[in-house]
Amino acid sequence: MFDFKKLFGKRALTRALAALLLALVLCLSACEGQGTGIVDTTVADTSAPTEQQTTVADTDTDAPTEEPTEEPTEESTDEPTEQPTEQPTQGTTEAPTTEPETPAETETEEPTPELDISNLPAYSGKDYVALNGNVPYFTESEKVTTSYETYGDLDALGRCTVVTACCGRDLMPTTDRGNISSIKPTGWVQAQYSIVNGGNLYNRCHLIGWQITGENANAQNLITGTRYFNENMIPYENMIADYIKETNNHVMYRVTPIFEGNNLVASGAVMEAWSVEDEGDGVCFCVYLYNVQPGVVIDYATGESYLEADGGPTTPGEETTIPDDGLLHYVLNKSSKKIHKTTCSSVPTIKPSNREDFAGTEEELAALYAKGYKDCGSCKGAH
């Protein structure tokens, strides 16, 4: 007999296997689609393989579309928003506290130049060398517009130290220049040489010029300087004085004499100036001037000297007997209106009635030129 139960059981078994296979396929598809609820609903409602496969295809299409939309949105919203908010806030708080303090501390600790004289080029005919790009070392807090002047105490050897001033019109002299011959700065061993303008090797050099602050016999402002050194300081002092007179502005000015070791004569001086109101546009320089005298060898330890051509020391004052009074000394010929050095070979030939011994200041010498006097052609007079 034909066994229907057996045949029915095979079909049922086949249908069951087919349903199981379809369920497995749908399950795998659902895993790829991140387990959305669409797959489960479709399987429960639909029994046809075609519809189930079509629905799975729709599910695969929707799932990737939703995922990139949700996940990147959450990441871009949370991380970039929180991190920039926290990090710049910390950076902004720390930066003003740390960075501005560094230059301030550096400028405060080193308000004056740390100059090693051994690193400067030796004098080779040029009277100065620019330092720091010719920009002074003043800090911002030092640049003020209230006039003042300070003169450093003499050191243990009696030498001048740094002098500083905020130079204004109110500090300039209103009386005649006084006598400064009472001051004997360290290393003052005067000598006279015919090759030196005015005869005297040394001048009492103002660190801050008289025309700027009107200081006369101030031992804290006078050093032993060569005539050459003193003359080379004048253009810088004139620059400051002229600027103040023209603008009524202020100029920060600092002069630092440089002594090597225990030397009594300065090797030179650092001169710094900065016009305050116009931020250095009118006056700005930072230079080192050599305290030398061309043709004369100086012992900076003692102040003694000798002519380079002689090759050895001479007794101070051996050439002439010019008085050590801080004035300029020349011999005038009133007839020819010639100015002679006291060592000029023409001096003994001048008739007593025509001769006049001159002892005066730079201003008084200039007055002679204004009256028609000229330098001797041989000794070159005052030049």
pLDDT above 60: residue 330: yes
pLDDT above 80: residue 186: yes
pLDDT above 60: residue 95: no
- Residue 322: the pLDDT is 60
- Residue 125: the pLDDT is 93
DSSP structure class, residue 281: S
**Which range, 23-37, 52-66, 160-174, is most confident?**
160-174
Q: Is there a contact between 164 and 171 (Cβ–Cβ < 8 Å)?
A: no
**How confident is residue 180, by pLDDT bands cut at 50, 70 and 90?**
very high
- Residue 3: the pLDDT is 53
pLDDT above 60: residue 121: yes
What would the pLDDT profile of 354-383 be if each residue is shown by its tens digit?
Answer: 889 888 887 788 888 888 988 887 766 665
Q: Is there a contact between 171 and 314 (Cβ–Cβ < 8 Å)?
A: no
Q: Is there a contact between 108 and 139 (Cβ–Cβ < 8 Å)?
A: yes
Tell me the C-alpha distance between 33 and 167, whole Å.
Answer: 85
Element (H, E) at 332: strand 328-333
pLDDT (average), residues 240-254: 98
Q: Hey, where are the domains in the chain?
A: 7-62, 110-326, 327-383
**How confident is residue 329, by pLDDT bands cut at 50, 70 and 90?**
confident
Percentage of the chain exceeding pLDDT 90: 49
Output the CATH code of domain 110-326. 3.40.570.10
Q: Is there a contact between 228 and 235 (Cβ–Cβ < 8 Å)?
A: no
Residues whose CB is less than 8 angstroms from the CB of residue 65 and which lie 6 or more positions away in sequence, other chains included: none
Report the predicted TM-score, pTM, of the whole model to 2 decimal places.
0.57
Residue 147 burial class via C-beta count within 10 angstroms: exposed 0-12, middle 13-18, buried 19 and up? middle
Rg (CA), the chain: 47
- What is the identity of the amino acid at 102? T
35-68: string of b/e by CB count within 10 Å (b at 16+)? eeeebeebbeeeeeeeebeebbeebbeebeeeee
SS3 318: coil
pLDDT above 50: residue 65: no
